[in-house]
Amino acid sequence: MRIEKGSPLYQQLSELLAKRPGLKPTNTRYIHRYLEMKQIDWNLWHDFSGIALDVGCHIPLDALILSKMKGIRRIYLVDLRPIPSTLLPDKTTFVQCDATRLAFPDNSFDVVTSFSAIEHLPDRALQRAWVREMVRVTKPGGKMLITVDNAWSWLNRIWDRYRPPMRRLSPIELKRWVMETKEMEIEATTGGAIYYWGFRPRFRGSAQIAYLFDRVLNPLSRLLPWFGNRIGYRFIKKVV
């Protein structure tokens, strides 16, 4: 699925992202680059149906897209931090809970998603518990979509020098944690990179760094997606 720039949905996503704390609505270039990076996640999407769960959402961009799908009856959002009700799209219910102990029965959802969130947990045990909980609440025949910041990306390692480092996962590690449950099969993969390095305060105004990332490293990462800054999978839960 691709959200075309200039479409009504793209405009709605831009307006919602502009409400993110600390982000100025006038910073349109950052907003456009962020949504371009989100396209790596949306490459896994198609027209889903049923009841959906988005884990670790923070800003409900993905819920907004799901709410536009005619087949989606209800969307549940989970995060440790509260989400203002004014940001919630139609058909959406917010549940404040721990993603490593989801407050839902087994086999509850037709679609379960988590995008670039799990790497914010502090250790591997919690990350693995998060993944297993997503598998647990997915219905047989249901879809599970997950993307993470990539541990194989050397550019991510450079990035971590200028912000708090995260516990990133490699494609192999993420795949192993899901497949070891023996309940899932891979349907699709995604990977790539969009870097907006020049938007970091210390690099603003540096034409050389902006050129390096925008004109050299971004295109190179598209050719080598498993070494880009984000990778992910779409799984389907086996029907026994």
pLDDT in tens, 134-186: 999 999 999 999 999 887 776 776 666 666 667 888 889 999 999 999 999 99
The whole-angstrom separation of Cα 116 and Cα 220 is 21
Per-residue CA distances from 220 to 7, 75, 190, 213, 229 (Å) = 28, 36, 16, 10, 12
Yes or no: is domain 47-237 CATH 3.40.50.300? no
- Output phi, psi for 60, to 5 deg: -80, 55
In this predicted structure, the answer to whether residue 201 has a pLDDT above a threshold of 50 is: no
The whole-angstrom separation of Cα 117 and Cα 147 is 8
pLDDT (tens digit per residue) in 75-129: 999 999 999 999 999 999 999 999 999 999 999 999 999 999 998 888 999 999 9
pTM: 0.86
